[in-house]
Amino acid sequence: MPKVLPLNSTLQLDEVPACFGLTELFFGPEGERPRRRAAREALAKEKCISCVSMLKCRDLGRRNHEHGVWGGENDEDRALAGFPPRSPSRRSVVFAKHCGELAEGQTG
């Protein structure tokens, strides 16, 4: 299992993260259509790639089982990695969580 930051960690940043002020890009509205979500998340992930805080952010998203895009990962990505959101809201996230659990069972 990948190492992650402690649960009580906070981002200690020397620079402003790439997502600053772009909340609606990283966290979609309720009932967002799949095509629109895919486009929005692709843009958010592009921002993450160039961000100095990407790895710390990803680790916090995983550790806290967050929703939205964190460190270049969306809900499905984190679920596949073994860190599903606390309350999966889409079938694709539930499926990714199941696949992550199956993969973990095969390696553990």
Going by pLDDT thresholds of 50, 70 and 90, the confidence category of residue 87 is confident
Task: Note the pLDDT of residue 16.
Answer: 81
Exposure string (b/e) for 43-56, b if CB count within 10 Å is 16 or more?
ebbebbeebebbeb
The dihedral sign for the CA sequence 14, 52, 11, 44: positive
Instruction: Taking residues 8-31, report their average pLDDT.
Output: 79
Residue 97: which pLDDT band, with cuts at 50, 70 and 90? low
Please report how many Cα atoms fall inside a 13 Å half-sphere around the Cα of residue 92, on the Cβ side. 9
**What was the pLDDT predicted at 30?**
85
Q: Which residues of 89-99 are buried (b: 16+ CB within 10 A; e: fewer)?
A: ebeebbebbee
Question: pLDDT tens-digit profile of 23-55?
Answer: 999 999 888 999 999 999 999 999 999 999 999
Three-state DSSP at 107 gives: helix
User: Is 96's pLDDT higher than 90?
Assistant: no
